[in-house]
Amino acid sequence: MINKLIIDTLQPLGIPVCFQKYNGNEDTYITFFCYNEQGELFADDVEIQTMFYVQIDIWSKGNYNDIAKQTRELLENVGFKRTSSIDLYEKDTGVYHKSMRFFYAQNN
């Protein structure tokens, strides 16, 4: 459910968005994964809300600032809340890397 939501939400960017690993040839793409999933709200010992903590990684050989801004806006528009982000550079591949973390509450 969360994977499909992320892929569908980021589709307007027009770049590949893949769960965990990208195997294509594009210079700019997004990978993502869920680093924590936990019950957040319970009633009568039943989980009624699940919290997903996800990391979105933008990979590019060029300037990714517009993509990062659009990614954040698209995800926030469907209920994701950003907790952190960091700009990185992968020296061995010459790829710029923006890592952003979000959480999302899903009512069950």
- Give CA torsion, residues 17, 60, 20, 35, to 10 deg: -110
Q: What is the pLDDT of residue 4?
A: 97
Q: What is the pLDDT of residue 48?
A: 87
Q: Provide the residue ranges of all domains of the chain, joining segments of one domain with +.
A: 2-107
Q: What is the pLDDT of residue 45?
A: 84
Per residue in 5-45, pLDDT (tens digit) is: 999 999 999 999 999 999 999 999 999 999 999 888 788 88
Per residue in 38-76, pLDDT (tens digit) is: 888 788 888 889 999 999 999 999 999 999 999 999 999
pLDDT at position 81 over 90: yes
Task: Report helix, strand and coil shares of the chain as percent, to nearest 5.
Answer: 25, 50, 25
Give dist(CA 46, CA 54) in Å, integer: 23
Q: What is the pLDDT of residue 1?
A: 85
Residues 6+ apart with CB under 8 A from 68: 58, 85, 98, 100
CATH of 2-107, one of 3.30.450.20, 3.30.2000.30, 1.10.730.10, 3.90.1640.20: 3.30.2000.30
